[in-house]
Structure 1
Amino acid sequence: MTPHRGLRHLALRVTNLARSRAFYEHLLGMKVVWEPDPDNVYFSSGSDNLALHQIGQAELAQYQPPRGQLLDHFGVILESPAHVDDLFREVQREGGQYGSTIAKPPKQHRDGSYSFYFTDPDGNVIQALYEPTISRMELKP
Structure 2
Amino acid sequence: MGPAEDHPRGPGGRGGRGAERDRHHAAAGPPERPGGRRPRHAGRCAPSPVHRVPGGARGTRRRLRGRHLTDPRGQAGLHHLDLNVSDLPRSVAFYEEVLGRLGYREVERGTGWMSFGDGTFYITLVQIEERFAARGFHRKGIGVNHLAFPAPSVNAVDDFHAWLMARGVPVLYGSPLDMGHPDQPNYAVFFEDPDRLKLEYVHRPG
Which TM-score band (shorter chain)? Answer: 0.7 to 0.9
2:198 paired with 1:128: no
Taking the aligned partners of 2:76 and 2:141, their CA distance within structure 1 comes to 26
Q: Which amino acid aligns with 1:112?
A: P
How far has the Cα of 1:36 moved from its partner?
1.9
The structure with the larger Rg is 2
How far has the Cα of 1:126 moved from its partner?
0.7
The residue aligned with 2:110 is 36
Contact kept, 8 Å, 1:120 with 1:126, in 2: the verdict is yes
Taking the aligned partners of 1:106 and 1:25, their CA distance within structure 2 comes to 22
Higher strand share: 1
Identify the structure with bigger relative contact order (alpha carbons < 8 Å, sequence gap 6+).
1
The residue aligned with 1:77 is 150
- How many residues are aligned here? 124
Larger mean Cα displacement after TM superposition, 4-13 or 72-81:
4-13
Taking the aligned partners of 2:119 and 2:193, their CA distance within structure 1 comes to 20
The residue aligned with 1:7 is 78
Taking the aligned partners of 2:132 and 2:177, their CA distance within structure 1 comes to 39
The residue aligned with 2:90 is 19
Task: Please list every run of 5 or more consecutive structure 1 residues that lacks an aligned counterpart in the other structure.
Answer: 134-141
Taking the aligned partners of 2:172 and 2:141, their CA distance within structure 1 comes to 14
TM-score by length of 2: 0.55
Contact kept, 8 Å, 2:150 with 2:204, in 1: the verdict is yes
1:103/1:17 CA distance change after superposition, 3 Å: same
The residue aligned with 1:57 is 130
Contact kept, 8 Å, 1:44 with 1:50, in 2: the verdict is yes
Task: Please list every run of 5 or more consecutive structure 2 residues that lacks an aligned counterpart in the other structure.
Answer: 1-73
Contact kept, 8 Å, 2:99 with 2:105, in 1: the verdict is no
1:65/1:84 CA distance change after superposition, 3 Å: same
1:103/1:32 CA distance change after superposition, 3 Å: same
How far has the Cα of 1:107 moved from its partner?
1.6
Aligned partner of 1:93 among 166, 173, 183: 166
How far has the Cα of 1:8 moved from its partner?
4.3
How far has the Cα of 1:27 moved from its partner?
2.3
Taking the aligned partners of 2:88 and 2:141, their CA distance within structure 1 comes to 19
Contact kept, 8 Å, 1:27 with 1:90, in 2: the verdict is no
Contact kept, 8 Å, 1:112 with 1:132, in 2: the verdict is yes
**% identical equivalent positions:** 27
Runs of 4+ in 1 over 2 A off after TM superposition: 57-60, 66-70
Taking the aligned partners of 1:66 and 1:13, their CA distance within structure 2 comes to 10
Taking the aligned partners of 2:131 and 2:185, their CA distance within structure 1 comes to 47
How far has the Cα of 1:129 moved from its partner?
0.9
